[in-house]
Amino acid sequence: MATQGHDWLTGSASIESFLRVKELEEQQRALLKSAICAFNQLLDLRDLNTGVHSTRLAEWAVRVARKLQIEEADFYQIEVAALLHDIGKIGVPDTILKKDGKLTGEERALMNKHPEYSWSILRLFSGLDKASLYALHHHESYDGKGYPGGLKGEEIPIGSRIVSVIDAYDAMISNRCYRKGLPHDEAVRRLSESSGIQFDPLVVKAFIEIAGQEIEDVFAATGSSPAAVI
């Protein structure tokens, strides 16, 4: 009987510690989620999110990942990278970030440091190891002519290849003070033109299918112009 009692107590204690661990994990997840939202807000405040629809773009990144049959465990990392890959721009002076004209060589070199800065920030969060790596390589080019690593083709992490396409699309369709954003169709044409050169062709194909379908659906439902629904 004494042994049974002891087992019962041990069992009760292990259930308690199991529940406590679950609770702590839940708290950690919630804290990480808040930190990600806060960083995104910071990008908005510093006017560093190129588009105002970063959440939609992050959703599309996940849908591209799903279409490419990437491991589900990676979806969250890709979503975070899609949202926060440019967080390192906080370390680039405004005189460079907001310069209207062409950047000098020195300014360009500083600007091109931002993926490394993003990596150095995101890697500090436990649980964002892959997202930080995806951010580090989001300006690599499929033909090896990108930065910071000059990685080529599938050497570039898949999350970075996805973010690269999403980022380029976002930059093209977004309005700037010195130019109006491109319409969806023109942005898609330019993505296709650079498919296999700057971008992974499979990612471009998946993205175009997803974005095109969604825009058509919203256009049909609202009667608004495709450019206005992005």
Fill in the per-residue mask, 33 to 72: x = in contact with Fe ion (CB under 5 A), - = not in contact.
----------------------------------------
Point out which span in 28-36, 55-63, 83-91, 156-164 binds Fe ion (CB under 5 A).
83-91
Binding to Fe ion in span 93-122, by CB under 5 A: none
Q: Kindly state the smallest distance separating residue 82's Cβ from Fe ion, in Å.
A: 11
Number of residues that bind Fe ion (CB under 5 A): 1
Point out which span in 13-21, 32-40, 81-89, 175-183 binds Fe ion (CB under 5 A).
81-89
Q: Kindly state the smallest distance separating residue 118's Cβ from Fe ion, in Å.
A: 8
Q: Which residues contact 53 (CB under 8 A, 6 or more apart)?
A: 170, 230
Report the C-alpha gap between 159 and 121 in whole angstroms: 17
Report the C-alpha gap between 209 and 67 in whole angstroms: 10
Q: Kindly state the smallest distance separating residue 151's Cβ from Fe ion, in Å.
A: 15
Q: Does 74 bind Fe ion (CB under 5 A)?
A: no
Point out which span in 79-87, 141-149, 192-200, 218-226 binds Fe ion (CB under 5 A).
79-87
Give the residue among 69, 109, 70 at the shortest CA–CA distance from 93.
109
Q: Does 86 bind Fe ion (CB under 5 A)?
A: yes
Q: Does 140 bind Fe ion (CB under 5 A)?
A: no
Residue number with the shortest CB distance to Fe ion?
Answer: 86
Q: Kindly state the smallest distance separating residue 16's Cβ from Fe ion, in Å.
A: 47
Q: Nearer to Fe ion by C-beta: 163 or 215?
A: 163
The token pair that represents 173 in the structure block: 């369709």
Q: Nearer to Fe ion by C-beta: 160 or 195?
A: 160
Give the residue among 92, 163, 73, 87 at the shortest CA–CA distance from 125.
87
Interface ranges with Fe ion (CB under 5 A): 86
